[in-house]
Structure 1
Amino acid sequence: MSAAPRSRSVTAVGLSLWLIALAVLGAGDMGGRQSRGTVSVLATWTGDEGDAFRGVLDTFSRTHRIHVDYQGTTALREVLSSEVDAGTPPDIAVLPSSGELAAYAAGGRLIPLDDVVPARPRAAYGRLWTPRVRVGGAERTYGVAIKADLKSIVWYDTRRRPGELPALAADGRRWCVGMGGDATSGWPGTDWIEDLLLQQQGAEVYQRWATGRLAWDDPRMVRAWESWGALFGAADAERALITDFRAAGRGLFGGAGRPCALEHQGSFIRGGYRPPSRADFAFSAGLLPDADRRSTAREVSGDFAAMFGDSPEARELMRYLASATAQRAWAEHTEPGRTRPFFANREVPLGVQSHDPVARRIAHALRDSGALCLDASDAMPTRMRLAFQRAVLEYLSDTGAGPARLLRSLERVRGEIRGEPGRPWLSTVCG
């Protein structure tokens, strides 16, 4: 007769323990407080970069009592496309391409941010870093560049004298060049062509081309391609085609492999140099062939946070990621000895780069250059960008044939895209 009450007592105790365990697990990083909800985030950052970004998200979770489910992947385009097609997109995705941002906005997939991120925080970025897309007759903001990089630069070993660089730049054998990039192979070549056009012709011509209003076979475009092709001999071009972009700069510092002296690559690459303190940069206008040596125009890139799902929790996280508070925390969460991220937000002090003079120069250039222009291929519709990447690989495999045939082919693609509905080009890429 006494067995039943005892059984009920044991069951009650077990249930209580389970409830306690669930409460602890549910609290996660909330410091014992109950979570108000969950937000899913997709971005490209993994490894050390991913750890630093997770630190920012953990700070948000503790402060706002909102759990963040973060997924970092180097195949973001493929993962995001699959999740969107399946009807299960993340609440927030950080897109490395302003063109993809425009495409998702035009397809009705994104939440406008005009009422999410207040006008004052958006003004700290400027229009270049908060792209507006015309959808249904209205132009709205759909993304905020929560991270930025400078591209119109050339890296070299600090043991070299700056006066040596022009002579080195004239010799194609002294450039560290790698076209490999997994599914995106060829993009380093598109950066060369883009920067050559910008430094030879200026921001106005560059913007017309990047927004689909200048023909690919325009003589000014032809000149940029020919300048690039004339720089490299057959052996240098072949080596570039089989070299991964992440390995291209290893020869800068006299390590194993073929020595080289210069690398045309964005500011993010410095994090892969060992040690980063051995690398300095010069602006590409002073070194690229046929460039206007007085040019102060700089090509840049951004990682744009965008909302695919609308909820109070997602809105709160979006506002936080766009804030100077979050970006200062991001820099502070970066491991000692690692390069810190750069930001377009003018409310983030240059002091977040600590006592790193090279990083401070980059951060300053991202704000105070004569003209900043977004990476052109990133701003283009996906089909155009992929065709561009394939074309630079084909051109490098036989520069002697000239670029005319390839440029006519790219011009046909541009014409076809301009005739397709729902294939938007950004209206501006320079500011």
Structure 2
Amino acid sequence: MKRIQQSRGLTLAAAVTGLGLVLTACSSGDGDNTSGGGDAEPTFDCADFEQYGDLEGKTISVYTSIVDPEAEEQRASYAPFEECTGATIDYEGSREFEAQLPVRLEAGNPPDIAYIPQPGFLRSLVADFPDAVQPAPQPVIDNASEYYTEAWAEYGTVDGTLYATPLGANVKSFVWYSPAAFEENGYEVPTTWQGLLDLTDQIVEDNPDIKPWCAGIESGEGTGWPATDWLEDVVLRTAGPDVYDQWVNHEIPFDDPQIVAALDEVGGILKNEDYVNGGLGNVASIASAPWNESGNGIPDGTCFLHRAANFYQANWDEGIEVAEDGDVYAFYLPGASEDDKPLLGGGEFVTAFSDRPEVGAFHAYLSSPQWANAKAEVTGQGWISANSGLDPELLQSPIDQLSFDLLTDETYTFRFDGSDQMPGSVGAGSFWREMVSWISPGQDSQTTLSNVEADWPSS
């Protein structure tokens, strides 16, 4: 989802407080240093950075959509690299990143490194500027092979060549709930999709005055994107990852019967007046309910279930404890069976536009556990990495720790957010709009998906 990525990052960053990102100077003693602030200060040993060489006097430019205040955390995470190698990282965050990066490439003024928020955008850059996007050097390839699952590395690969490695990550296959409400009613976390539907029916039977689900898809210019996540998650569960890939890549029509069936399955929840919209109104209210407020019914007791990603934790009111025994928590959105474990998520990718040694060294650092751990130590809740070398003890939220476990567990079948892989006019355009129409005024599934199919670019 192209435009919404930036605003999500700002939402998360706004929830992070007390980071105190004041860095200490590098000691000339034993090379054991600290940086960062807040409750935890990242530690690093400059001996670990000898692999990158002496980069004194070298400057590496970084261009990204990640802007302040979250950008402060990014810059803080570069301190070990800068202090131990002598390099300087020139960081530029822009709200016009996706529009301006191709302009800069066309003008022959590329950054050294850019953080690409969608695999589809990466593919278009490689196609349009084949001489500008640089293949990953061997140290980056080695890190990708050692610390990331095959699926994550594949999303940074175009025509068999690795160009980009993951930076941050998120998990979308979650259902938020109240542990206390579950305990009070004797409910158990479901482990299959049918079990989730059975639980929903049980909630209806036990609580005639409370709708089990609450949902909202209003998100300013990005209104509709939460509904696309619903469909993508259910396509993975009803049609499977292979069909999902074919659909996302338009190898089958957008309105293929399997996708229509999946949207009907989503409608079995979101269009069922018995199931929604807890504390917010009827089915139509989903279209106008703000996404960032739509889960409030969980701690308020006006709904039991809310499907949203790990980063939704930034939207809970201050004082709401997110924990397995806290006020709210989340469970994995189950598959068709306990052994069926599809996982939907997203993130950003590090891409280089220069083959200078110092640029390759910084790319290698960003793909390493060293960087992932440094970033975790200067960040509050709401940030994770798919890097298996990340120390999960550094993650400050139980949901972040759970997300990391799922992302690095090879038994889960990860797939990247579908709309982020589609052409921008579809993934951040007609797909969003048509899902709103599907909710209100209540357009049928076939018409909804056929309208998106008609909008798919011909080339």
TM over 0.5: yes
Tell me if 1:198 matches 2:244.
Answer: no
Matching residue within 95, 115, 119 for 2:142: 119
Note closer, same or farther for the CA distance 1:263–1:82 as it changes in structure 2 (3 Å cut).
farther
Instruction: Please give the per-residue CA displacement for 1:141-174, whole angstroms capped at 9, x wherever unaligned.
Output: 1111122211111112332216177467456944
Note closer, same or farther for the CA distance 1:34–1:344 as it changes in structure 2 (3 Å cut).
closer
Letter in 2 for 1:405: T
Matching residue within 73, 76, 87 for 1:66: 87
Greater Cα shift, 124-133 or 321-330: 124-133
Matching residue within 402, 407, 411 for 1:361: 402
Note closer, same or farther for the CA distance 1:133–1:117 as it changes in structure 2 (3 Å cut).
closer
Matching residue within 183, 202, 214 for 2:252: 214
Which runs of structure 2 are paired with 1:25-424 in the superposition (5 Å)?
36-47=57-68, 49-73=70-94, 76-107=97-128, 108=130, 109-115=132-138, 117-131=140-154, 139-161=160-182, 163=187, 166=196, 169=200, 173-230=211-268, 231-232=270-271, 233=273, 235-254=281-300, 259-274=302-317, 275-277=320-322, 278-285=327-334, 295-334=340-379, 338-339=380-381, 341-353=383-395, 356-368=397-409, 369-385=411-427, 386-399=429-442, 401-414=443-456, 416-417=457-458, 420=459
Q: How far apart in 1 are the matches of 2:125 and 2:62?
A: 16
Q: How far apart in 1 are the matches of 2:102 and 2:286?
A: 30
Give 1:30 deviation, angstroms.
Answer: 7.8
Letter in 2 for 1:53: Q
Note closer, same or farther for the CA distance 1:36–1:280 as it changes in structure 2 (3 Å cut).
same
Paired residue secondary structure (1:159)? helix
Q: How far apart in 1 are the matches of 2:300 and 2:139?
A: 50
Number of aligned residues? 376
Given that 1:154 and 1:262 are in contact with CA atoms closer than 8 Å, whether structure 2 keeps it comes out as yes
Letter in 1 for 2:290: D
Give 1:321 deviation, angstroms.
Answer: 0.7
Q: Give the CA RMSD over aligned residues.
A: 3.2
Note closer, same or farther for the CA distance 1:333–1:242 as it changes in structure 2 (3 Å cut).
same
Paired residue secondary structure (1:380)? coil
Paired residue secondary structure (1:306)? strand
Instruction: Please give the per-residue CA displacement for 1:295-345, whole angstroms capped at 9, x wherever unaligned.
Output: 3111121211111344333222111111100100111112xxx31522211
Instruction: Please give the per-residue CA displacement for 1:258-286, whole angstroms capped at 9, x wherever unaligned.
Output: x4332211112223324352331122127
Q: How far apart in 2 are the matches of 1:30 and 1:89?
A: 31
Residue in structure 2 matched with residue 25 of structure 1 by the alignment: none
Note closer, same or farther for the CA distance 1:84–1:155 as it changes in structure 2 (3 Å cut).
farther
User: Which one has the bigger helix percentage?
Assistant: 1
Paired residue secondary structure (1:94)? strand
Q: How far apart in 2 are the matches of 1:314 and 1:106?
A: 22
Higher radius of gyration, 1 or 2: 1
Given that 2:217 and 2:291 are in contact with CA atoms closer than 8 Å, whether structure 1 keeps it comes out as yes
Q: How far apart in 2 are the matches of 1:239 and 1:321?
A: 43
Paired residue secondary structure (2:167)? strand
Given that 1:92 and 1:307 are in contact with CA atoms closer than 8 Å, whether structure 2 keeps it comes out as yes
Residue in structure 2 matched with residue 427 of structure 1 by the alignment: none
Q: How far apart in 2 are the matches of 1:134 and 1:58?
A: 29
Letter in 2 for 1:281: A
Given that 2:310 and 2:399 are in contact with CA atoms closer than 8 Å, whether structure 1 keeps it comes out as no
Give 1:390 deviation, angstroms.
Answer: 2.0
Letter in 2 for 1:184: G
Instruction: Please give the per-residue CA displacement for 1:167-226, whole angstroms capped at 9, x wherever unaligned.
Output: 674569443323233433321111000001111222222222223222222221111212
Q: How far apart in 2 are the matches of 1:395 and 1:316?
A: 48
Letter in 2 for 1:158: P
Identity percentage of aligned residues: 25
Greater Cα shift, 322-331 or 46-55: 46-55
Q: How far apart in 1 are the matches of 2:106 and 2:27?
A: 36
Q: How far apart in 1 are the matches of 2:68 and 2:299?
A: 24
Give 1:99 deviation, angstroms.
Answer: 1.1
Paired residue secondary structure (2:334)? helix
Note closer, same or farther for the CA distance 1:57–1:221 as it changes in structure 2 (3 Å cut).
same
Given that 1:124 and 1:346 are in contact with CA atoms closer than 8 Å, whether structure 2 keeps it comes out as yes
Paired residue secondary structure (2:372)? helix
Given that 2:143 and 2:367 are in contact with CA atoms closer than 8 Å, whether structure 1 keeps it comes out as no
Paired residue secondary structure (1:42)? strand
Paired residue secondary structure (1:344)? coil
Note closer, same or farther for the CA distance 1:49–1:123 as it changes in structure 2 (3 Å cut).
same
Note closer, same or farther for the CA distance 1:410–1:140 as it changes in structure 2 (3 Å cut).
same
Q: How far apart in 1 are the matches of 2:180 and 2:156?
A: 46
Paired residue secondary structure (2:420)? helix
Note closer, same or farther for the CA distance 1:116–1:393 as it changes in structure 2 (3 Å cut).
farther
Note closer, same or farther for the CA distance 1:40–1:140 as it changes in structure 2 (3 Å cut).
same
Tell me the TM-score normalized by structure 1.
0.77
Q: How far apart in 1 are the matches of 2:157 and 2:391?
A: 33
Letter in 2 for 1:93: A
